[in-house]
A and B are shown apart, each in its own frame.
Chain A
Amino acid sequence: MSETPLLSVRGLRKHFPITGGVLAREVARVHAVDGVSFDIAEGETLGLVGESGCGKSTTGRCILRLIEPSGGEVLFRGQDVTRLDRKALRALRRDMQIIFQDPFASLNPRHTVGGIIGEALEIHNLGKNRAEREARIVELLETVGLRPDHMRRFPHEFSGGQRQRIGIARALAVEPRLIICDEPVSALDVSIQAQVINLLEDLQERFNLTYLFIAHDLSVVEHISDRVAVMYLGRVMEIAPSRELYDNPRHPYTEALLSAVPIPDPRIKRKRIMLQGDVPSPINPPTGCHFHPRCPIAEKHCSQEAPSLRETSPGHWVSCHVRG
């Protein structure tokens, strides 16, 4: 790992207000992201896992400022993204890109593939003239494994996997350093998932890309990530190198999550850790540690004081009073 991280997120928060009544007063808040911190080094892949609604995607969108964060810092090469004005933000868009989950919703149905990829070039004035831009689009299509003549076609003429490739080509067009992959394979068939994952890995090697890989599929994340962060109800519970996290989970939530991963061998029996109850509402999250009401090893002070991330072994950070 390099000295200064490419991206470091510090205490990121996003609270969505819920308004009600005649005067549209704020009656409550959804604590979607509630103090998330992590670093990503250049060329690294950080996996971000957690169940639906835990704030993974919101975190990703806050980093890009597609959603305005309510608090905290997002430092990209030491520059605080949350404070950038419009012009500086646009310049930053060249460095950070996003790949979306749903390849059917993420491409404008009325634009051709060439138009979709070319838009990035147009916005940032890349390429001197039309011919140069077209050459670049062809190059990008070939990079992601599509054919040059696909340029004149419309998104609906492609399969899900091909569309996801178009989305990747669009993100690559501006030569970004960091790509936020927001569940890029969740909507695809398993056979296609592998192709797209391999493509992402190839591209990372070729262009020295850095990924924040958001997913709920633990096996996919284990495969692609160098390090993994586990989120629960808007907070990071544990961050560790991929191997370490899967072999030696510290946090009780991570343990429970990993025990739910199916093993492709019916003879192997494993003890499933069944958590009691449901995920509490992010509108009124539990006091102290967000996980304490469902935690099998919770102690008295877990409900009073929120634990912070502590390094238990080199590179392995856990947010737990008992295990930390």
Chain B
Amino acid sequence: MAGSTPASISADLPGAAAEAQTKPVSRALDAWRRFRRHRLAVVGLVVLSIIVFGVVFGKLLWPLSMSSIDFSASLAPPSLAHPFGTDDLGHDLLARMIFGGRISLAVGLAAMLIAVGLGVLVGAVAGTAGGRIDTFLMWLTDLFLALPQLPLLLLIIYLFRNTLVHFFGEEGGIFLIVVVVIGALRWMSIARLVRAQFFSLREKEFVEAARALGASRLREVIHHMLPNTIGPIIVAATIEIANAIIAESTLSFLGLGFPPDVPTWGRLLYDGRNYLDLAPQWAIFPGMAIFLTVLSISFLGDGLRDAFDPRRVL
């Protein structure tokens, strides 16, 4: 095929005829080609696309209200009228999951971005600066790791919830606080990861070569160190999304996150746990949704990591 890459062992000597035919392929196309070779990643992409599509446009396809109460169909098993069944008040679970999924996915994505952003920033600064700045930042990281998170969460939410709700409205305010709180308590592992990578990359000869050419610190970091750290970051980021979705459900469960009438997936799962014997669908469907999302994101992450690594022969 057009963009096939020879392995390093078989790289031809100058003058060999065979490789002259290979056409240069743009990097995005090449990455896409590599990505497609990764079966599981493609499956992950398809599943995730279906979930995202369902959550975003599901309202149009399944117009039933998520809050219409129908006691005659209380705790009903899956049927044509209610494909995912109903809860104790006769709410349609599919409609609730479509609505809650938006929040769960948005929280997962946003919290991951905050955690990765903070982690990369702290790790990169510590890894490049070294010395006292590094000592301080690692001390800060350890501090955050050692913090008792639940009491802290309680405190932050009690302190800021009302102000934020006042400014951004009920849902907006809570979304903001949940995302920030989750993101701000999960950057530490990424910071350590990035710092460790930077420490090893700093001594690499290609970074030294860039320095010898007169590259600035910033250029060294952006062109040489970060691109070579991207693999572990992507893997950590996918895990972060999964963790954030689950963390949000924990918060909701404790009454610290979204109010009980906002059916995030985690909330549904926790509400459903009391009825596992009578109405298992109440817990099974949200659980499956979280499980599938997390799994497909993690496969997707693997695929992305490989697609952006030109060394891999795929």
Contact = CB atoms under 8 A, between A and B. Distances in A.
A222 to B, nearest CB: 26
Interface stretch (B44-52, B207-215, B236-244, B262-270): B207-215
Given A93-B213, A108-B228, A157-B11, A100 B310 contact: no
Contacts of A101: 205
Contacts of B213: 93, 97, 119-120, 123-124, 170, 174
A109 B207 CA distance: 11
Interface stretch (B122-130, B147-155, B174-182, B219-227): B219-227
Nearest to A93: B214
Interface in A154-208: 154, 156-159, 162, 167, 170, 174
Interface string A87-125: 001100110111011100111111100000001100110
Given A123-B213, A146-B14, A158 B206 contact: no
Contacts of B13: 159, 162
B214 A110 contact: no
B212 A109 contact: no
A109 B211 contact: no
B208 A157 contact: no
A210 to B, nearest CB: 16
A100 B209 contact: yes
B20 A149 contact: yes
A100 B219 contact: no
Interface string B225-237: 0011000000000
A90 B310 contact: no
Given A123-B213, A146-B14, A108 B224 contact: yes
What is the size category of the interface that chain B forms with chain A?
20 to 34
A147 interface: yes
A105 B204 contact: yes
A156 B209 contact: no
A106 B223 contact: no
A108 B310 CA distance: 11
A93 B208 CA distance: 12
A145 B13 CA distance: 11
Contact of B206 (A89, A90, A108, A123): A108
Interface in B1-60: 5-6, 8, 11, 13-14, 20, 24
A124 B212 CA distance: 12
A66 B14 CA distance: 33
Given A109-B310, A110-B227, A119-B223, A94 B214 contact: yes
B214 A90 contact: yes
Among the interface residues B211, B212, B214, which one has the most CB atoms of the partner chain A within 10 A?
B212
B206 A156 contact: no
A252 B185 CA distance: 64
A66 B214 contact: no
A152 interface: yes
A156 B14 CA distance: 15
B227 A106 contact: no
Contacts of B211: 66
Interface in B177-210: 204-206, 208-210
A180 B211 CA distance: 14
A149 B20 CA distance: 8
Interface in B110-148: none
B214 A159 contact: no
A105 B5 CA distance: 20
Given A109-B228, A170-B209, 19 more contacts: A61-B208, A66-B208, A98-B209, A101-B205, A102-B205, A105-B205, A106-B206, A109-B310, A119-B223, A120-B213, A123-B214, A123-B219, A145-B14, A152-B24, A156-B311, A157-B6, A158-B11, A159-B8, A170-B213
Interface of B: 5-6, 8, 11, 13-14, 20, 24, 204-206, 208-215, 219, 223-224, 227-228, 309-311
16 contacts: A66-B208, A98-B208, A100-B205, A102-B205, A106-B206, A107-B209, A108-B206, A110-B310, A119-B215, A145-B14, A147-B14, A152-B24, A157-B5, A157-B6, A158-B11, A170-B209
Q: Which 10 A-B pairs have the closest CB atoms?
A: A93-B214, A106-B205, A152-B24, A90-B214, A105-B205, A108-B206, A154-B310, A100-B205, A110-B227, A156-B8
Interface of A: 61, 64, 66, 89-90, 93-94, 96-98, 100-102, 105-111, 119-120, 123-124, 145-147, 149, 152, 154, 156-159, 162, 167, 170, 174
